[in-house]
Amino acid sequence: MNIDTQAVQTGLEWDTRTGALSIPIYQSATFRHPGLGQSTGFDYSRSGNPTRLALEQGIARMDGGSRGFAFSSGMAAITSLLLLFQEGDHLVVTEDLYGGTCRLFDRIFTRFGLSFSYVDTTDREEVLAAITPSTKALFVETLTNPLLKFADIPALSTICHERGLLLIADNTFLTPYLLRPLERGADITVYSATKYLSGHNDTVAGLAVVRDPQLAEQVYFHQNSAGAVLGPQDSWLVIRGMKTLGVRLDRQQENALKIARWLQRHPQVTRVHYPGLEEHPDHDLIRRHARGFGAMIAFEVESHSLVEQLLLRTQLISFAESLGGVETLMTFPEGQTHADIPPELRARLGINDVLLRLSVGIENVDDLIDDLNQAFNKRETTV
């Protein structure tokens, strides 16, 4: 079954009694036992809730894993996965990743004895050089935030599995609709479901999918014990959003390519990062492994004054920090999403004071280009 069909069908098998096409929202903290020592399969909603389970089964099918897990946010999902490790363990990590993930690693989990090395995970030799006897996992973003470098999951999985390491792939930007990392050798995928999977900027959620059933049992133990689970109302919202994932991403990618090409030609734009452009260094690699290039664009303008001008003077495009929804959003990574990355690392990576990140929505692309054009051309009037 095609993945877009799988997404639409999520939850349809649940209410066989009434035939409801929309999974009910089981807004219950606890469940009555049918008898002593008996259970319906649901006892307490932290341990399991029918609406959440429908979402978890749906994302597991879409990703090709043994089991899925729904958390209260993407960061809660990553936090629960880090509970797989113990004091003294070391992880090799994508260097240009989301600043909140970097903050979680460096300012929280280092206090509990974990250590992290940040490398360019598109460079096999850098990855190999960073592995130590205490390394237990490689954590990558399949398409990095914000510079849009692509991780070669099959090559990285070979490195990991030859050395007994876990490969954890944050697949938020591409989603299983465009890339299924578990099929290419990853052990765990993780998502900020706030973004493309829910797709409407109306809920905060995180998802993880595990390939190996025994490893999935460990993840469930931590999910249940730590309790950062997704509530039934938000689970329903993510299910509803996932049903239109395919049609939304098709439109968003189409828009993104047209906008990226327009930005390339603009005299005040000095650089465009979008893997759908033939000039992108990972363009051919993504074409081999993924079904598309996503709908995120990063671009640099010729001066910092243009950054504020564009952020504040666009009329359709909102100045906001999230991404992946139907509305087009723009943000300034250096001062917002990636402010927690050390300044010297930001400078080396190219996350600078002229870089903007654009999350392309489903609006008419001509209207979006017109909005960008008028923001570029607007000038303060002097009296």
Q: What is the pLDDT of residue 363?
A: 98
Percent of the chain with pLDDT over 70: 98
Burial of 288 (0-12, 13-18, 19+ CB in 10 A): exposed
In a domain, 383, yes or no: no
State the average pLDDT over residues 66-82: 98
CB-based contact 178:291 (threshold 8 Å): yes
Q: Which of 183, 215, 242 is the last residue of a domain?
A: 242
Q: How far apart are the first and last CA of the chain?
A: 64
State the average pLDDT over residues 9-33: 88
Q: What is the pLDDT of residue 380?
A: 47
Evaluate if residue 14 carries a pLDDT over 80. Answer: no
In angstroms, the CA 170 to CA 172 distance is 6
Q: What is the pTM of this model?
A: 0.94
Q: Which of 205, 227, 242 is the last residue of a domain?
A: 242
365-377 and 245-265 helices cross at what angle (nearest 10)?
40
- Residue 351 is encoded by which pair of tokens? 């996350």
Residue 183: DSSP 8-state: G
- 30 with 112, same domain? yes
Total number of domains constituting the chain: 2
- Full residue range of the structural domain in which residue 318 is found: 245-377
- 267 with 329, same domain? yes
CB-based contact 138:168 (threshold 8 Å): yes
In a domain, 382, yes or no: no
In a domain, 26, yes or no: yes
- 18 with 114, same domain? yes
Convert 151-169 to b/e letters by CB count within 10 Å (16 or more is b). Answer: bbbebbbebbeeeebbbbb
Q: What is the pLDDT of residues 186-200, one digit of tens each?
A: 999 999 999 999 999
Quick one: which H or E segment has residue 20? none
Catalytic residues: 46, 98, 170, 195
- 175 with 282, same domain? no
Evaluate if residue 139 carries a pLDDT over 80. Answer: yes
For 326: left if phi > 0, alpha if psi spans -120 to 50, otherwise beta; the answer is alpha
- In sequence order, what E strands does 267-361 have? 269-273, 296-301, 318-319, 329-331, 355-359
In angstroms, the CA 106 to CA 208 distance is 21
* Number of CB atoms found within 10 A of residue 140's CB: 29
In a domain, 162, yes or no: yes
- 140 with 197, same domain? yes
In a domain, 90, yes or no: yes
What CATH number is attached to the domain comprising 316? 3.90.1150.10
- 157 with 223, same domain? yes
Evaluate if residue 335 carries a pLDDT over 90. Answer: no
State the average pLDDT over residues 357-378: 96
- 187 with 257, same domain? no
Does the CA dihedral 368-370-374-377 come out positive or negative? positive
In angstroms, the CA 187 to CA 304 distance is 41
Q: Which of 193, 226, 242 is the last residue of a domain?
A: 242
- 229 with 311, same domain? no
Does the CA dihedral 9-10-14-15 come out positive or negative? negative
With a CB cutoff of 8 Å and minimum separation 6, the contacts of 8 are 243, 246
Evaluate if residue 90 carries a pLDDT over 50. Answer: yes
- Alpha carbon 300 to its chain centroid, in Å, reads 23
- 284 with 224, same domain? no
State the average pLDDT over residues 262-285: 97
In a domain, 301, yes or no: yes
- 59 with 174, same domain? yes
- 11 with 154, same domain? yes
Q: What is the pLDDT of residues 203-229, one digit of tens each?
A: 999 999 999 999 999 999 999 999 999
In a domain, 285, yes or no: yes
- 130 with 235, same domain? yes
Going from the C-alpha of 82 to that of each of 92, 102, 127, 228, 246, the distances in angstroms are: 13, 13, 20, 13, 30
Q: What is the pLDDT of residue 379?
A: 60
Q: What is the pLDDT of residues 228-247, one digit of tens each?
A: 999 999 999 999 999 999 99
Evaluate if residue 9 carries a pLDDT over 50. Answer: yes
Does the CA dihedral 47-50-53-55 come out positive or negative? negative
Evaluate if residue 286 carries a pLDDT over 80. Answer: yes
Evaluate if residue 295 carries a pLDDT over 50. Answer: yes
Output the average pLDDT for the chain: 94
In a domain, 68, yes or no: yes
CB-based contact 207:227 (threshold 8 Å): no
Evaluate if residue 297 carries a pLDDT over 70. Answer: yes
What CATH number is attached to the domain comprising 215? 3.40.640.10
Does a cis peptide bond (omega within 30 degrees of 0) precede residue 146? yes
In angstroms, the CA 263 to CA 41 distance is 54
